[in-house]
Amino acid sequence: MKKLLLKKGKERALYNRHPWIFSGAVKDLPNSENGEIVQIFDYQQQLLGYGFFSPKNQIVCRVFEFTSYPITIDKQYWFHKIQRAFGLRKQLIDFQTTNCFRLLHAEGDFFPGVIADVYNQTVVLQILIRGTELILESIVEALLKLGFQYIYLKTKDVSHSIEKIQTDSGWIGNIGTTIIEVKENNIVFKVDIAEGQKTGFFLDQRDARRLVKEYAFGKTVLNAFSYTGGFSAYALCGGAVLVHSVDSSKAAIQLAKENMLLNGFSAHEAFCEDVFDFLKQTHHQYDMIILDPPAFAKTAKAVSNAARGYKELNLKAFQKIKSGGIVATFSCSQKIDKELFRKIVFAAAADARRNVRILHQTTQPPDHPINIFHPENEYLKGLFLYVE
Ligand code: SAH
How much is the pTM? 0.96
How confident is the model at residue 376, as a pLDDT? Answer: 85
Quick one: which atom of ligand 1 is closest to the CA of 205?
7
- 114-135 per-residue burial string, b: 16 or more CB within 10 A, e: under 16: bbbbbbbebbbbbbbbbbbbbb
Distance 332 CA to ligand 1 centre (A): 11
How confident is the model at residue 117, as a pLDDT? Answer: 98
Quick one: which atom of ligand 1 is closest to the CA of 208?
7
How far is Cα 275 from Cα 79, in angstroms, rounded to an integer? 44
State which of 201, 227, 308, 330 you would mutate to test the pocket of ligand 1, scoring each by most atoms of that ligand within 8 A of its C-beta: 227
Residue ranges and CATH numbers for the domains of the chain are 3-66 (2.30.130.10), 75-180 (3.30.750.80), 202-387 (3.40.50.150)
What single string gives the DSSP state of each residue in 162-200? Answer: HH---PPSEEESS---SEEEEEETTEEEEEETTTSSTTS
pLDDT tens string 72-113: 999 999 999 999 999 999 999 999 999 999 999 999 999 999
Q: Which residues of the chain have pLDDT under 50?
A: none
How confident is the model at residue 159, as a pLDDT? Answer: 66
Distance 229 CA to ligand 1 centre (A): 10
pLDDT tens string 235-271: 999 999 999 999 999 999 999 999 999 999 999 999 9
Question: Residue length, the chain?
Answer: 388
Ligand 1 pocket, CB under 6 A: 197, 202, 205, 225-228, 230-231, 247-249, 252, 274-276, 292-294
Quick one: which atom of ligand 1 is closest to the CA of 294?
9
